[in-house]
Chains A and B, each alone.
Chain A
Amino acid sequence: MSAHDTAAAVPSSPSASSGPLRRILHPVRGRLACAAVLAAVGSMLALVPLAGIAHVARIALGQGGGSVGPVVAASVACLFAGMALVLAGELVAHLADNRLTHGLRVAAARRLAQAPLGWFTSRASGEVKQAMQDDIATLHGLTAHFYTAVGRAVGAVGVSVVYLFALDWRLAIAALLPFPGFFVFLRRAMQASGAGMQAFAERLGRINSATVEFVGGIPVVKAFGAAGTAHGGYREVVDGFAEAFADFTRPLVVSMAHAHAMIAPVTVLGVVLAFGAAFVGLGWMAPVDVLPFALVAPGICAPLLLLHTLLHDLQGATGAAQRVLALLETPVLAQPAPDQQQAPVGHAVRFENVGYGYGYGEAHRVLSDIRFTLEPGTVTAIVGPSGAGKSTLARLLLRFFDPEEGRITLGGVDLRHIEASQLYRRIGFVLQEVRLVHASVRDNIALGRPSASQQAIEDAARAANIHARILALPRGYDSVVGEDAQFSGGERQRVSIARAVLLDPPVMVLDEATASADAGNEAAIQDALSRFAQGRTLLVIAHRLDTVAQADRILVLDGGVVVAQGRHAELLARGGRYARLWAEGQPC
């Protein structure tokens, strides 16, 4: 797909005020229109035989010229031509859908590739999942089926009405009387249901939460033998909902039944024949002229009803389109322009008056006025109670998000002025959440250096204590993660360490809890980390104070502020927050 197509896939040209559906479908609107037109013309042609029968009747009754044969032949030919056009319309719509889905996915990927890393929390991945799976599936239904169906219906109804009016406008009006009647009853039904809508929507919400609580609580009920209060609550809500539904549909049903009965083919046929007979009796038309009306008018019902159902489905699609658009418009990190880019000198990291929060004001800042320096080759540990902001601080260094106040520099250059790939070649990380890609083990380890030699990859794996485990896999380094390479949590951690080892960054951010994830692997992981930590500038998020007691500097973080920093002995002597944390953490 060309770059032009991808750019077009992110709708920007239509004004923001046009509906989400129109914006999403913008790239394929031409093809969809073409599909609709093909379907419309196809269905029009498919109706020619009806006119053909009327004409044949006229000839057979001696009231028209020409012979039967050619008319019949033409009718059948039109029938099949019509069907072929409808198929063509379907193909065009499917092709358009294929292109659109592809374009949306690529556009989303390229957009997300620039979003701040902090956006990718577990909440966000749920959004991505819904947009990518459910919502694009809804849109697929829309592009592939909706427009051709509308085309067919409009074509059939349109050509029928025009034909009937062209023949005899008086009988046409009479024959089409039931249809406005349909809309009248429909409107009445909508008005009647409007009253109960509110209560109904509220019950709908309640049934969702009652079900979740009931089902979620069943294991607990089983464990505690408690009589199911949730079950009783569920039963109550179900009954309430059924009652609301019955109340809601009762006024609806009568009007809808009248509406459907009114445009049933049987009714339309009756109306046509009654008026037709009357007009014939009045001498306004010949009996044979009634025939086309009896043939064509009852056929309008089905496409009209179909149109009505389709328009309903459109509403669901709008919501889906909105969510996909939201994904395509995810805020992105500002990347430095080429002339703004600077190269860092050395690997000292400095936090200068860094502040970060959720915009709720002073009282709720996650981090305030953070000031410290990571000297090259040193180990700095961040300690503090949970919720103090340790992870956020580490993530700021990794540019998961940008600080709201102050700045962070690497080698004298603000992180915002370093190009992304340059940044990550200098700062690596081993965090608790391991992400391996669905590719071979070799590709996973060499993610940062695709051109690395097999020897270099194996050395990195050895350093991470995972080489032997990989060789034990059915295809060794070629085994695919998630398929023939099933790793336990600790083993995945070691693969991620190998990945970092191969990249060999001078600065590393490390979460110390990675080791405790898997009891069996703990020793191996700790060993690998220790070896890897040599000679690097390390920033460690520590949970157990004794593991970092020998660090060059310890930062004590509490409530988003650095309350103390220094070496272990000094901090202990000072007798403040650190000393208290140390005492709490000692095994009894």
Chain B
Amino acid sequence: MLKTFLQLLGEDARLLRRYAWMAVAYGVLCGLTIAALVPVLTHLLAGSVRAAAPWLAALLAGVAVCWGWRRRVEQAGVRVGVAVLQGGRHRLGAHVARLPAGWFTPQNTARIGHIVTQGMMAVAQLPAHVFTPVIGGVVTPLVIVAALFALNARLGLIALVALPLLAGVFALTARLARRADAAFHGSFAEASQRMVEFAQAQPVLRAFGGGTRFLEQAVTQQRQAGLRLIVLSALSAVLNAWAVQAVFAVLLLAGALWLDGEVVGTIAALLLVVRFIDPLLEVAGYGEVLRGARGQLDAVRAIFAVEPLPQPAVPQTPADASIELRGVHFRYEPGAPEVLRGVRLRIASGSMAALIGESGSGKTTLVRLIARFFDVDAGSVCIGGVDVRQMTDAQRAAQISQIFQDSTLFAGSIADNIRIGKPGASDAEVMEAARQAGVEGIGLDTPVGEGGARLSGGERQRIAIARALIKDAPILLVDEATAALDAENQAVIAATLARLRGRCTLVVIAHQLSTVAMADQIVVLEGGQIAEQGTPAQLRARQGRYARFLAQREAAKGWRIAPGEGPR
């Protein structure tokens, strides 16, 4: 937990160290000042106010010093907070910017957004809200133990021995609480998922009479599971305090037992005991807050743990626009099944390859690996004879245009978004790209709204197409399947492919018959491996998977809904 904090702060780590020392010093000062109550009380009880006076003055001086020191501790804490909010956010941003493009799923994007905004705010307030009281609550008792020892060795010894025992109990409680929390959150999340499913499937449930049957079953199950956890949760909340109070009871009994000897001294010692127990009780109550803090920092650590794509020491330039995959193996997560199992493919510069296959066959992954969304687990992806890992991001980006499912737009006008493909493009070039993509009708100065909110899904995708077109890179990667539902976009893509054929290397995840017809090479993927490969004529003759694909597409095109007809 601390390590993550230091990583977050980077060069500002000294601010945290400085703050920590100041907080410790504060605790020591408080402890020493409290210890001064012993001579004051002793003299008072002995009946001599005059003798108590100088010690009282010393105590009050100590109070003033603590007061002043407190302010400096708080200011140091705020400085740490500001460093987190500034440096920490910068560091997170810089790290995230270097992560592979494939990491940016909607969940991860939402996650990092949450961490940078609310997570960092919570971490920034940790010194003021959590660390100061906890550090003080731990250091002051330590000083008081020393004073207690000096005053009454037996009580001091008991208190000293109690400290490690308490630490052990706190750790145990933390583990118990974590277990209770995890179990609770698990069943809680499941019940909530059920509710969301209920809402989303409502038309179906209503129409088919499913009703609230399934949901109420699940919710009742949840309730029972929760009941079983209650004792554990409640116990973990009070166990810490119980342990501290038990120590108090022991010290009280011990003090009372040894009262016959030194009365005044023992009374003063008991007062010290109370000042020893009180801060420990406060710390005992911080268990849940500390767990929350740990959770926040764990989330940050998980982000820093994601490996950025390694950049080459000596970058090499690709010779041409050919693409080659050599023995590529890839899985999305360790332990998950391999999505690509030994793929070997060569696409000549300027030629067109169409990829077909069932969903889950690996075609999308293959195309993303060419764009270095991730690094392969084994084998290599080469562009123009150079491994993509030996090119800088900029070089690779300059070689490849892509038309994929994501069509992220920035707030601004349509023209601004198209210009991202070629910064410094003239108005004429932007206009031409817009015309080719079929978006000139909307008006190039139209603002797209945040994230493109003001446009329809189809329009957003066409702007993304224009963006890729204006870039005019030697390689174009297209996922046609995503446009399957929008007839207009399908037409735009078909026209684009026809125009670029022969000028660029085209890799298309194909859906339309017109696309596969014009390809130089068809690649059929099945289960992460290439099942068939060749020219359209060759594969059609083979009467294998490709032939079947053609037959299916033909049949689908010719479908008719008609009244009173038998099955087609």
Tell whether, in the assembled complex, residue A79 and residue B245 are in contact, meaning their CB atoms are under 8 Å apart: yes
Asked if A260 and B203 make an inter-chain contact with CB atoms under 8 angstroms apart, the answer reads: no
Give Cα A398–Cα B202 distance, bound, in whole angstroms: 13
Decide: A294 and B41 in contact? CB cutoff 8 A.
yes
Cα(A295)–Cα(B195), bound, Å: 53
Q: Given the known A-B contacts A75-B252, A83-B242, are A489 and B285 also in contact in the complex, defined by CB atoms under 8 Å?
A: no
- A265 close to B275 (CB less than 8 A): yes
B484 contact set on A, CB distance < 8 A: 516-517, 519
Known A223-B402, A447-B210, A519-B552; contact A132-B195, beta-carbon cutoff 8 A = yes
Quick check: A435 and B200 within 8 Å, CB to CB?
A: yes
Closest to A387 in B: B456
Specify which of A225, A234, A438 is in contact with B197 (CB 8 Å cutoff). A438
- A91 CB–B CB distance under 8 Å: yes
Give A516-548 interface residues, CB cut-off 8 Å to B. 516-520, 522-523, 526-527, 529-531, 533-535, 538, 540, 543-544, 546-548
Query: Is A550 touching B562 in the complex (CB atoms < 8 A)?
Result: yes
Contact residues in A for B82 (Cβ distance below 8 Å) = 242, 245-246
B146 located at the interface, meaning its Cβ lies under 8 Å from any Cβ of chain A in the complex:
no
B293, CB-defined interface residue at 8 Å: no
Q: How many residues in A have their beta carbons less than 8 Å from beta carbons of B?
A: 168
Q: Which residues of A contact B195 (CB under 8 A)?
A: 105, 108-109, 128, 132
Whether the pair A512, B561 counts as a contact (CB closer than 8 A) is yes
A239 sits at the interface (CB 8 A): yes
Per a CB cutoff under 8 Å, which of B116, B245, B256, B285 touches A83?
B245
- Is A513 interfacial (CB 8 A cutoff)? yes
Q: Does A249 contact B (CB under 8 A)?
A: yes
Segment of A14-22, A52-60, A555-563 in the binding face: A52-60
Contacts of A438 in B (CB 8 A): 194, 197, 214
| Chain A residues whose C-beta falls within 8 Å of the C-beta of B565 in the assembled complex | 530, 534
A473 on the interface (CB 8 Å rule)? no
Q: Give A493 to B485 CA distance when docked, in angstroms.
A: 15
Verify B66–A220 contact, CB threshold 8 A: no
CB of B552 within 8 A of CB of A215, answer no
Given A76-B249, A226-B420, A523-B552, CB of A218 within 8 Å of CB of B104: yes
Contact of A60 among B104, B263, B274, B358 (CB under 8 A): B263
CB distance from B367 to the nearest CB of A (A): 13
Out of B44, B222, B458, B564, name the residue touching A102 (CB < 8 Å).
Answer: B222
Whether A225 contacts B398 by the Cβ 8 Å rule is yes
Of A105, A266, A295, A526, chain B has the most CB atoms within 10 Å of the CB of A266
Q: Which residues of B contact A79 (CB under 8 A)?
A: 245, 248-249
Q: With an 8 A cutoff between CB atoms, is A34 at the interface?
A: no
> Residue on A with the closest CB to B61?
A270
- CB distance A488 to B74 under 8 Å? no
Contact A550 B563 (CB under 8 A): yes
* Interface status of B314 (Cβ within 8 A of chain A): no
B70 at the interface (CB under 8 A from A): yes
Nearest Cβ on chain B to A364's Cβ, whole angstroms: 16
Q: Is B219 an interface residue (CB 8 A)?
A: yes
- Give the nearest-CB partner of B225 in chain A: A98
Q: Which of A163-171, A191-199, A276-284, A571-579 contacts B (4 or more CB under 8 A)?
A: A276-284
Contact of B204 with A by CB under 8 A = yes
A208 in contact (CB, < 8 A) = yes
A585 within 8 A of B: yes
Query: Is A215's CB under 8 angstroms from B487's CB?
Result: no
Whether, in the assembled complex, B241 has its beta carbon less than 8 Å from a beta carbon of chain A, the answer is: yes
| Contact partner, B34, options A105, A225, A246, A269, Cβ 8 Å | A269
A49-72 interface with B by 8 A CB criterion: 49-50, 52-53, 56-57, 60-61, 68-69, 72
Q: Tell whether, in the assembled complex, residue B222 and residue A117 are in contact, meaning their CB atoms are under 8 Å apart.
A: no
Is A177 part of the contact surface with B, judged by Cβ < 8 Å? Answer: no
Residue A256 lies at the interface, judged by CB distance under 8 Å to chain B: yes
Q: CB within 8 A of A306: which of B75, B188, B285, B360?
A: B285
Asked if A136 and B192 sit within 8 Å, CB to CB, the answer is: yes
| Contacting residues of chain B (265-289) with chain A, CB-CB under 8 angstroms | 266-267, 270-271, 274-275, 278-279, 281-282, 285, 288
Q: Which residue of the partner chain B has the closest CB to A77?
A: B249
> Cα distance A214–B104 when bound, in Å?
12
A83 to B242, CA, bound (A): 7
Which candidate, A25-33, A346-354, A355-363, A420-428, is the interface stretch facing chain B? A420-428
Please tell me if the beta carbons of B207 and A429 are within 8 angstroms of each other in the complex.
Answer: yes
Complex contacts, A226 vs chain B, CB 8 Å? 420, 423
A429 to chain B, nearest CB (A): 7
Chain B positions within 8 Å of A224 at CB level: 397, 420-421, 467, 471
> Is the CB–CB distance between A261 and B66 below 8 Å?
yes
Q: Provide the residues of chain A in CB contact with B230, threshold 8 Å.
A: 91, 94-95, 98
Given the interface contacts A217-B408, A253-B75, A437-B214, does A266 sit within 8 Å of B560 by beta carbon? Answer: no
- Chain A residues with Cβ below 8 Å from B117 are 207-208, 211
Take A83-B245, A136-B192, A222-B397 as given contacts and tell me if A257 and B71 are in contact as well, using a CB distance cutoff of 8 Å.
Answer: yes
Complex Cα distance, B169 from A202, in Å, reads 45
Segment of B52-60, B150-158, B346-354, B534-542 engaged in the interface with chain A: B52-60
Q: CB within 8 A of B253: which of A76, A106, A253, A535?
A: A76
Chain B min CB distance to A250 (Å): 8
Chain A min CB distance to B24 (Å)? 15
Instruction: List the A side residues contacting B263 at CB < 8 Å.
Output: 60-61
B432 interfacial contact with A, CB 8 Å:
no
B561 contact set on A, CB distance < 8 A: 379, 381, 510, 512, 529-530, 533, 538, 540, 547-548, 550-551
User: Which B residues touch A69, using CB under 8 A?
Assistant: 256
How distant is A365 from chain B, measured CB to nearest CB, in Å? 20
- Interchain CB contact (< 8 A) of A534 among B231, B359, B566: B566
Mark out the residues of chain A between 383 and 435 whose CB falls within 8 Å of any chain B CB in the assembled complex.
386, 398, 400, 420-421, 424, 428-429, 431, 435
Q: Which residues of B contact A469 (CB under 8 A)?
A: none
CB of A151 closer than 8 Å to a CB of B:
no
Contacts of A7 in B (CB 8 A): none
The answer to whether A489 touches B212, judged by C-beta atoms less than 8 angstroms apart, is: no
A150 at the interface (CB under 8 A from B): no
Residue in B89, B199, B275 whose Cβ sees the most chain A Cβ within 10 Å: B199
A137 interface neighbour in B188, B198, B281, B555, Cβ under 8 Å: B188
Is B30 part of the binding interface, using a Cβ–Cβ cutoff of 8 Å?
Answer: yes
CB-contact partner of A516 in B199, B215, B288, B485, under 8 A: B485
Q: State whether A294 and B562 are in contact (beta carbons under 8 Å apart), knowing that A128-B195, A264-B70 are contacts in the complex.
A: no
Q: State how many angstroms separate the Cβ of A1 from the closest Cβ of chain B.
A: 8
Contact B104 A225 (CB under 8 A): no
Task: Using known A-B contacts A98-B230, A533-B561, A551-B563, determine if residue A276 contacts B44 with beta carbons closer than 8 Å.
Answer: yes
Q: Say yes or no: B86 contacts A267, CB within 8 Å.
A: no
In the complex, are the beta carbons of A523 and B398 less than 8 A apart? Answer: no
Q: Does A254 contact B (CB under 8 A)?
A: yes
Q: Determine, out of A285-293, A337-345, A454-462, the stretch whose residues face the partner at the interface.
A: A285-293
Residues on B with C-beta less than 8 A from A222 are: 101, 393, 397
- Which residues from chain B contact A400 at a C-beta distance below 8 Å? 203
Partner of A261 from the list B70, B86, B360, B421 (CB cut-off 8 Å) is B70
For the complex with contacts A109-B212, A519-B481, A530-B568, 18 further pairs of A-B residues with Cβ separation under 8 Å are A46-B245, A53-B270, A56-B270, A120-B199, A225-B397, A231-B97, A246-B82, A250-B78, A257-B71, A270-B63, A273-B37, A277-B40, A377-B563, A435-B204, A530-B559, A530-B565, A534-B566, A543-B485
Report the 3 A-B pairs with minimum CB-CB distance, sorted nearest first.
A225-B397, A242-B86, A448-B208
The chain B residues found within 8 Å of chain A, CB to CB, are: 30, 33-34, 37, 40-41, 44-45, 47, 49, 52-53, 56, 59-60, 62-63, 66-67, 70-71, 73-75, 78, 81-82, 85-86, 89-90, 93, 96-97, 99, 101, 104, 109, 112-113, 116-117, 124, 129, 188-189, 191-192, 194-212, 214-216, 219-220, 222-223, 226-227, 230-231, 233-235, 237-238, 241-242, 245, 248-249, 252-253, 256, 259, 263-264, 266-267, 270-271, 274-275, 278-279, 281-282, 285, 288, 358-360, 371, 393-394, 396-398, 400, 402, 406, 408, 410-411, 420-421, 423, 450-451, 456, 458, 467, 471, 481, 484-485, 487, 511, 552-553, 555-556, 559-568
